[in-house]
Amino acid sequence: MHDKLKLLLDKIGIPKEYYDDFKEGKILKLKLDHTRRNGIFVIEVEKPLDIEVIKYINENIRIGFPSMESVKASFVIKNKNYDDMIKYYNYVIENSTLTKPMKELFEEKKVSVKNNTLTIELDNIAEENIFKNNMDSVEKLYKKIGFNDFKINLFINKEKKEEIKEQTPKVEIVKEEKKESPIIYGDDVKGSITLIKDIITEEQNITVEAYV
């Protein structure tokens, strides 16, 4: 471990058991903005750091530089294996700009790596659009860990989509038949009713009853 890196680690009080992760490490540069009050330490390491080490540095590096407004660290991995991206997937999703419900959703997704491409298996276009809207934060987090030359492939599993569709219970809408209520046109029948067969002459004021 180079002296400047050891000085930085001592300054932020990193536990001694984490020192082994930085055996061949060194500080490549310190990036400062025009105010010189915001900086990023670029640190080279032999292999990807454990998630707990990264968390500790992110949470404590500011303590070592109280006069600065913000201090961060990003890493360059000398011997990177892109398969390692999988073990950082949940950490990256958790710290991305996705909302909490979406983080929980995407943390359950199946991921795989081939060459330098991380493939995330999705269920539908809606999930794809949500992830694309937050893609920038996911890529930045992976680059900060040390994976700076990679691609993310979003794959919609059509077979799984159909399986979910088949498992979704169909809702059948039953139309209720309207019951016709009897309607009487005119006045109620009063007095005696004469059957049509009994009418044999012309008479006035004969009452007959009929149903239509």
d(CA 31, CA 60): 18
Residue 176's pLDDT is what? 62
d(CA 75, CA 21): 12
- CB atoms inside a 10 Å sphere around CB 96: 20
Nearest residue to 42 (alpha-carbon basis) of 6, 72, 19, 74? 74
List, for residues 41-88, the tens digit of each pLDDT value: 999 999 999 999 999 999 999 988 998 999 999 999 999 999 999 999
Bigger pLDDT: 163 vs 13: 13
List, for residues 176-190, the tens digit of each pLDDT value: 665 555 555 566 666
The half-sphere exposure of 106 on its side-chain side, counting CA atoms within 13 A, is: 29
Q: Are 57 and 72 contacting, i.e. CB atoms less than 8 angstroms apart?
A: no
What mean pLDDT value characterizes the chain? 86
Does pLDDT of 202 surpass 90? no
Residue 81's pLDDT is what? 93
Q: Are 158 and 166 contacting, i.e. CB atoms less than 8 angstroms apart?
A: no
Does pLDDT of 159 surpass 70? yes
Does pLDDT of 10 surpass 80? yes
Confidence of residue 166 (pLDDT cuts 50, 70, 90): low
Q: What single DSSP character describes residue 170?
A: P
Amino acid identity, residue 22? F
Confidence of residue 200 (pLDDT cuts 50, 70, 90): low
Provide the residue count of the chain. 212
Confidence of residue 101 (pLDDT cuts 50, 70, 90): very high
d(CA 96, CA 104): 12
Confidence of residue 158 (pLDDT cuts 50, 70, 90): confident
Does pLDDT of 171 surpass 80? no
Amino acid identity, residue 61? I
